[in-house]
Amino acid sequence: MSEDLSSKNHDDRAIGVFDSGIGGITVLRELVKNFPNENFIYLGDTARLPYGSKSAETVRNYSVQNMKFLMSRNVKALIVACNTASTQVFEDHFEKCPVYNVIGPGAALAAAKTKNKKIAVLATRAAIKAGSYTQKILAHLPDAEVFTQACPLFVPLAEEGWHDDPITNLIAFRYLQNLKSADIDTVVLGCTHYPLIRTSIEKVFGPHVHLIDSGVAMAQQIGEDFNSGKIKPNQSGNVAITIALTDTSEHFEALSAQLLAPVSSVQITFETVSVI
Ligand code: DGL
């Protein structure tokens, strides 16, 4: 009897997170920071990056394969960290565990933060084309003005680790200068890679503009679902972080370890996997 009760109150399985590449580590970083007692398995589909230049159908196929891989690792919750993938998969995709995508929490946070209802969404070409952020923001604030801008060169700059670099600043200015005259007060970083080059984006808009980070929005959502009991906490006392990549990359390993070091001292296990 007591055995049954305790098994209902905790769940020691990992939370699964996936992204096309390094960007989703910004989401993982927020999750690890907020839920340090949880186990995580992160899948980076490095063999097939970038997703942002691919068709909706291809992104959907890749995403479903990634989700099946994480399900095969018996995760207790599955987080689609990649914004581009999030436009193509839906929360009710699997019955066995809750599935989260970053669009809903990011759009809700943007709608909550804006004062003048002028919001910019920066994302990949595929995510902008899907229009999901605009739809979700307008569902919260029907009279909002939503401006969109695809910034495809931000992804390789973030992957390269040029996070506060004159070249990144120049490219940020080139993409975003037209938005400056629109009196925007809130900017959705609608691609997981963009928080890595946040400093360059901030330099264009100035410090008064709210930058919405998918990782922060997702951590809030997961926190609410821990509180409501939708997700049960790990109480085993053992914590592991696994990073699985579809193509081996020493650069990825070094950069992800560097990004996670300020929030966790847990030793990361790296694996190379196939999801096909
Ligand atoms: N990290 C992905 C996203 O959030 C985009 C990167 C890519 O193009 O693969 O949209």
Active site residue 97: no
Measured in angstroms, how far is the CA atom of residue 5 from the centroid of ligand 1?
A: 41
* Angstrom distances, CA of residue 84 to CA of 68, 114, 161, 191, 229: 18, 23, 21, 7, 29
Q: Right CATH number for 2-101+216-272 from 1.10.10.60, 3.40.50.1860, 3.40.50.12780, 3.10.180.10?
A: 3.40.50.1860
The residue ranges of every structural domain in the chain are 2-101+216-272, 104-213
The number of C-alpha atoms within 13 Å of 50 and in the hemisphere containing its C-beta is 22
Q: How far, in Å, is the centroid of ligand 1 from the Cα of 48?
A: 11
Q: Which of 191, 196, 201, 255 is catalytic?
A: 191
CB of 264 within 8 A of CB of 241? yes
- Burial of 146-158, coded b for 16+ CB within 10 Å and e otherwise, reads bebebbbebbebb
Torsion of CA 66, 71, 77, 80, to 10 degrees: 10
**Which pLDDT value is given to residue 92?**
65
The CATH architecture that domain 104-213 belongs to is: 3-Layer(aba) Sandwich (3.40)
Topology alike, domains 2-101+216-272 and 104-213: yes
Res 168: pLDDT? 98
Distance 7 CA to ligand 1 centre (A): 37
Ordered per-residue pLDDT tens for the chain, 276 residues = 344 444 568 999 999 999 999 999 999 999 999 999 999 999 999 999 999 999 999 999 999 999 999 999 999 999 999 999 999 986 665 667 899 999 999 999 999 999 999 999 999 999 999 999 999 999 999 999 999 999 999 999 998 889 889 999 999 999 999 999 899 999 999 999 999 999 999 999 999 999 999 899 999 999 999 999 999 999 999 999 999 999 999 999 999 999 999 999 999 999 999 999
What is this structure's pTM? Answer: 0.93
* Contact assessment for residue 19 and residue 44, using Cβ atoms and an 8 Å cutoff: yes
Asked about 191 being catalytic, the answer comes back as: yes
